[in-house]
Amino acid sequence: MPYKYNIIHDHIFNLSTKHSSMAFSSTSKLSVFFLFLGITSIVSADFNNEFDITWGDGRGKILNGDLLTLSLDKSSGSGFESRNEYLFGKIDMQLKLVPGNSAGTVTAYYLSSKGANWDEIDFEFLGNLSGDPYILHTNVFSQGKGNREQQFYLWFDPTADFHTYSILWNPQRIIFSVDGTPIREFKNAESIGVPFPKEQAMRIHSSLWNADDWATRGGLVKTDWSQAPFTASYRNFRADACVVSSGKSSCGGSASSGGNQAWLSEELDNTKQERLRWAQKNYMIYNYCSDSKRFPQGFPPECKMA
């Protein structure tokens, strides 16, 4: 499998046994306000020009240039990757996840470099039984080291319609957002000895695959192949980013000093900081920076940053 994964089995089991109707309950006035603020215009790119289906023997398809689908059956899943490599960017993709009983399936959407000391920025969607919420799993790898998991429920059904999942990656921070609402910020903590992904160009990858040995209730709930094929859909890709080709960045001689791209120095303003706190208070279900059993000798140094 082209994807390197680190999962907390006991935590997934515990989450999956909890009552989870809150994930699909009526949105509060506050969440409606935040969703309204998060609406942005998306300019669709042609998938034929931006991506290659890399595996799956025909199970991945690009339809009319503006829709991409990945499918999974008992024989194989499927995946794609971007033709471009990026070193910093603001990247949006709209996804509609596998509906119904998606237990055992994982839809991974991430940025990754190559090599033993790779960098990686992950969105992953862990399937569940019909009627239960997806778990959105996020992680950041730098120099081959991850173990920085944060997990969330969503405030909507991600299988009913397309929603925008965004990564802002600049030299100071990485921000994960859903429909314009930031859910996680990972700041550059090199000053206290924490490597930050800023030297290695990364491609965009996505895959839909079977992980029923761990994905749902720690592997207790297996994939129901009578529901196959499972399909996830993608549209409205947009990348405002520094493209790296032959060792040179489209942002200029140095990506970190790249021209007039406002996102290269973007940070959360007061409104977005409030939205981040709202998302984390109401929908975060796991944070490695508060898992004292996992880190009995003390939390990782970046956890001390505000």
Handedness of CA 129, 132, 133, 138 (dihedral sign): negative
Catalytic residue, chosen from 85, 120, 149, 185, is 120
Catalytic residue, chosen from 50, 85, 124, 149, is 124
Whether 81 is catalytic: no
Whether 124 is catalytic: yes
> Cα separation of 69 and 114, whole Å?
25
3-state secondary structure of 24: helix
> Cα separation of 294 and 121, whole Å?
22
Element (H, E) at 71: strand 67-72
Q: What share of the chain is helix, strand, coil (3-state, %, to 5)?
A: 20, 35, 45
Q: Which residues pair with 57 in a beta bridge?
A: none
Lookup result for tokens 């970190």: 256
The structure tokens listed for 28 are 């509060």
The residues annotated as belonging to the active site are: 120, 124
